[in-house]
Amino acid sequence: MPVFHCATCGAQFPPSDAPPATCPICEDERQYVPVGGQRWVTVAELADGHHSRVEEVEPGLLGVGVEPGFAIGQRALHVGGLLWDCVALLDAAGAAALEAAGGVHTIAISHPHYYTGMADLAERLDARILLHEADRRWITRPSDRIELWSGERQEVGDGLELVRLGGHFDGGTVCVWAGGAEGRGALLSGDIVQVIPDRDWVSFMYSYPNLIPLPAREIARIRDVVAGLTFDRIHGAWWGTVVDAGGHAKVLRSADRYIAALA
């Protein structure tokens, strides 16, 4: 039986003779169903017209994407045996590149919009999947490789720690890489902390496509958590979305600006 992806958000569903009736992730108010209706792509169709893109983002950090872009178009990151966030497709060349870089023992994902092909990738790479338990309801393709973690912090390797920030989703997670940015520390942020065109600032939202803001109290809570983290560089969810330096201070003052704007 074929395996279907939602073409809008990339969510993958269990094998079935026909596409799902709906995509619960797209029907949530943080995402959207296109005006023309829901569209589905099988794994085979996706592989036929797309390929993996793997390249260095900074020393020790690889970007892993899909070309041409698919669904939301995010790229994942590989560091120290961790695949941070996920993509819908990993071809043979992409898998070989990750193996050459030390392999993958864990796939950890910032939030449900990037769950995509996690079950397939975990099988191919012989890896576990770490998701925050607060977002368990959004798992569209269950897998025995999924492990739900709870609480606020979870170590995933030497110098790699998951931190629950919430905000965009209740289990919204970032990853702090202590060895990033030449030892100054890097934040792998997905779009829980959103890198924007003005690299002196970042942003935070409940829904990005539908422009629904988060309440001030939630941003204040996120600010307090970030204040206790150590990092200088921020890597966002797409190719080229990097705050090269001063990231920690920029997140804090961006939170202050956000709160002031809502007031």
Q: Is 43 inside any structural domain?
A: no
pLDDT of residue 251: 98
pLDDT of residue 208: 97
Q: Is 76 inside any structural domain?
A: yes
Which residue range forms the structural domain that includes residue 221?
4-37+50-262
What is the count of structural domains for the chain?
A: 1
Q: Is 44 inside any structural domain?
A: no
How far apart CA 5 and CA 2 sit, in angstroms, is: 10
Q: Is 45 inside any structural domain?
A: no
Nearest Cα neighbor of 192 from 210, 218, 231 is 218
CATH of the domain at 212: 3.60.15.10
How far apart CA 256 and CA 202 sit, in angstroms, is: 11
Q: Is 64 inside any structural domain?
A: yes
Q: Is 144 inside any structural domain?
A: yes
How far apart CA 95 and CA 61 sit, in angstroms, is: 15
What 8-state DSSP symbol labels residue 215? P
pTM: 0.96
Contact (CB, 8 A) for 146 and 131: yes
> Along the chain (263 residues), what's the average pLDDT of each consecutive run of 10 residues?
97 96 97 96 96 98 98 98 98 98 98 98 98 98 98 96 98 98 98 98 97 97 98 98 98 98 93
Q: Is 119 inside any structural domain?
A: yes
pLDDT of residue 22: 95
Q: Is 63 inside any structural domain?
A: yes
How far apart CA 243 and CA 250 sit, in angstroms, is: 9
